[in-house]
Structure 1
């Protein structure tokens, strides 16, 4: 590893014409300037000023020269400037003029054309020296695309034969604060804002669940169990008694999952209850549900995937969240079929009980709404029928006030079934066909939600209608979702991959196009239905850059489209993680000195005002919706206001960047301190303890790591292992890994400058559904180096090098 001083010596040697140590002044000749780069000319010119003690407003120059032993800055301790240009000799002035003329000439070559393609002239990047040694392949990427991305990863446990290997950034603000430490200008990415919104979304949701919803679920479950027991003991109707007995079993399981207390139940169902508890807590995979099919009737399709009970997402973080997850997963996974008489009767009884019974002067249906409505705001409506719809069936078919015994009337049951099927046919839902789960009308006590990307994933998988069913495309891809959301690049990649994989499902391209057309018809208001939709709407602004903006060079190529695609996929995987319980599967220096401080470095914002505008709407929607539901504490409201102010500021800066307006020094200073603001917001949202202000004080190591994982699709397929064909239950996992470094060339006042920012990494792979990954397992895989590689289509996109070691100057000016 080179020392900082050796790097500076090399820099001065490269300049070759240095005024340090010269005993006599000499005029620079044109011949001496031939072959020198703009960066060299720029530093030579400013070194003349430095020799005379000039203080530099340009941040990088100030830090660089103040790190040199020979530099005597012309500023008093009180900040008043003693330097004036009178210190310049006649030869100094002539040399400055010659260098400035050469500089102006070379500035015309910021962009060059090679083989008909416009490229960046990397010799003109005036601060390249700040970034250590870049490999030729990365200089070529900077030239061709205007940016390069370094994939950070953990060094392998056995060590690597490298002189230097960086530890990856586990949070975005780590990199931005590292920029401050090294005096490097920020490139503020949309990724960083999406990561911060994920934290806001995830932590407000988990706080809602653990503090508000978990106690209500406990009460509601206990009450429904108690009422079902009473009905079983009191009714003399055989059919109602059978339905009540099954409902006792149905509510006894989540009662145990919530409290771990074993109740005493009728002998007929005690064994069934214990069996269901064992299967749920053991996450055994797909098996028959004995509550709904106690006789294992092969004609009754009532399998359940118990591997779904593997606690994952943010639900691993506390005992309350674990129990809440188990109970809600039970309610969301189990279904009552309208075409099975006992199932239908059970669901009608449950609905009547909810609307007829109270707890502490509140109807049980109000407790149910207390759970359901806030989660609708986050994720959306259930894609199954529930108590609200079945209440309409009750009132229409049976009347408003009836005894339980009337529910078993066969004629009215048939009418109720017909009405349920009519309502179900109009319901927007995810049709699951992988496991022969019936597509007939179903009731769920607390159904999982319709989310648009699940519909995309489901409709772009295909099996034959034969028995046994043959998979044509058993697993979708994240690219499917991004294609339908408007990414032409995603469509191109996924269609090419489909062909390379044999084009087994011939109708895939047609179905992809059909879905794309359908979703293109959604209005902006449609995309603001709930926070889930609104999050996807923000991602659409990355996939389809809005016309009418003067985008910088780095955004005008296919490579940036791929970067945005990776960003969108990574953010989408965070979204799926968060809702895993609910979702269905510088110019010449000028005079005029005042009290002296340098100007801040010229940081840049990813120039996508449409994204920041949509994110501003999403944040406002989030804050207002929580406030209207009395779910927003005063401290959290203040955090939302700070986040909204930040995004509004970034929106204004990005508008300036795309309309060629001047960004003020005050704005640049705020951009440069972005890392500290990002850290403060992140910490404040992760804890309600106002005394915690340092990252190391956060208790959860899992939460301190940006890496998260979510399983989004499951299928049982035949695979070959050890020469034998076996059936395996596989899940499609999507997730975020370590933070990657992105180097972006920006143009400031006519000069090319290199900036550094943080961006997402994205992973997508098949994994055993019986071992669905938690965040903890995923982070351990990454640290051990046992994780699968990123998707094939990203290969070759990232640098093959480690990020360069950024040298730290002996002097860095810090802004408060």
Structure 2
């Protein structure tokens, strides 16, 4: 900082005015400007790039060109077609080409750039960042010889750059003119670079990928205002019905997660003993596992939950009416904020953040019983994140001559994702959202009725007992696991892409 301000000794600070000039330089952003994104900084998803804050540290980490190169090859440093490119993971090959000047990396880099296959690295490959890579290479190649001997770190990199010189001249042995030897040299460079980074791990400034705002640019609520009105009224009637009930007395309960019956029975015996005879561990067990509550408190929680439910449905109803009339949600900031807070609360300019919090309005539609008050995984176990495939047997066909009999089941499987295109301001806009799946199937033979757990096991690949209808199919999920499922109903063929 002092060097940038041309202060090399106390003689350069003869009076208070010199210190004030230094303060002005700091305030005006002339000193302490960072060139390496070395922490998590949130950036909007448009073209605008963030400016890194000034940094003042005592014996802080130092600028190294390979870290700068890596930072230029990930979000938010890459712009393509006036938009940021969401490449999140760089590679040693980026350093080899841009910083170490190794042209033998080009075929592999091109293969990664062009790879759009499902098997690619999803956060590294298939992104247009070649222009950034070439620009960084240009900066490195433009450095004079003195730059590569300025300090030991740069000297090490400069030495490794010498291995990038091609050995294609016929004066070299044939074995050294092969691609295999070139790849060996590349590997030597990167292995030595790894040693360099290891030995300077506290000294060299590490690069970070920037974070993008997680907000919805547009919203679409299914345009059935009457449906939302009816649902709001139904929930309100339910709320009024519960509010009119008499909840009297007090009850004891065990907090979830559910413990085995044997363990609960063992701990239940502690509740019958004189508290004065229990040791500290036993008292802690009772406090952690068991609780008691006035039933009036349970009623109040249920009513409060339904009030929240009514409020959310009313907002959906209002959005549907605005959109039905061709209105713009941007003119209703409260409703726009509500729409953004679908799963998580979104805060400008950071969006919803990086860790899923389930604090949006939709997760709050799942009632959290007092039994779950101490659960850290409520939404995964019971709430919005739970795999909630369910099934119900609705009709029994008893075995008869010529008829093997069956039980008709109706079930819900995994949630599907729907994509639709809607005209907005004269332009097509694609929307994505969840839609329910539905299955209708029979279990042939004497009456057999599936439980939810059996149905879920079938969806996850556990075969049901035979016989099954022949139209049940063996499919693969996104992880390559095989499972048997009934075919989707014929009325879904117009919109549902069948599983492979």
* TM-score over 0.5 for the pair: no
Higher helix share: 1
**Shorter chain as normaliser: what TM range?**
0.3 to 0.5
TM-score, with length taken from structure 1: 0.22
After TM superposition, the score normalised by the length of structure 2 is 0.34
Q: Quick one: higher RCO (CA 8 Å, sep 6+), 1 or 2?
A: 1
